[in-house]
């Protein structure tokens, strides 16, 4: 099957999703605290508990989705598909099975299709936040499926 692409611009102010599995929440909160100043101009969102914890431990405002296992991962995925999320910091635990693993896989798949940067750990998040594109415009390529009409006989 052939796929096409269309270009879409990420603006200087990014819509950033902040997500962490339970065992990674403290690591993400520490990372956000360290980078509170560069994150402040951006629009932040997060799944359930993670969004609440970030707001409790920083001066940042974070739009809350549902908890990941209760559909929050799917809500973030839908926001990516609607081009309402530009970048995702998702500290996930690769050593522990999650009850919502299929939702996590779907979230990562949609992030790849919509060509958004994803940080699964602190090192990648550090590289992303230090990139010149973090506060600049960026043009991404979004996968589109070419239409092939079906002929019925």
Catalytic residues: 73
Query: What are the residues whose beta carbons fall under 8 Å from the beta carbon of 17, sequence distance 6 or more?
Result: 45, 46, 47, 76, 79, 80, 85, 87, 88, 89, 90
Summarize the chain as % helix, strand, coil (round to 5). Answer: 40, 25, 35
């Amino acid at each position: 099957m052939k796929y096409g692409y269309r270009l879409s611009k990420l603006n200087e102010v990014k819509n950033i999703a902040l997500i962490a599995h339970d065992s990674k929440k403290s690591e993400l909160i520490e990372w956000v605290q360290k980078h509170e100043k560069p994150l402040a101009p951006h629009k932040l969102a997060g799944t359930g508990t993670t969004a609440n914890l970030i707001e409790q431990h920083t001066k940042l405002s974070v739009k809350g989705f549902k908890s990941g296992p209760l559909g929050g991962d799917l809500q973030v995925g839908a926001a990516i598909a609607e081009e309402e999320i530009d970048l995702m910091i998702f500290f996930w635990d690769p050593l522990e099975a999650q009850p919502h693993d299929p939702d996590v896989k779907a979230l990562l798949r949609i992030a790849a299709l919509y060509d958004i940067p994803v940080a699964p750990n602190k090192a990648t998040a550090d590289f992303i936040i230090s990139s010149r594109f973090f506060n600049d415009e960026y043009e991404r390529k979004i996968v589109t499926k070419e239409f092939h009409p079906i002929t019925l006989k």
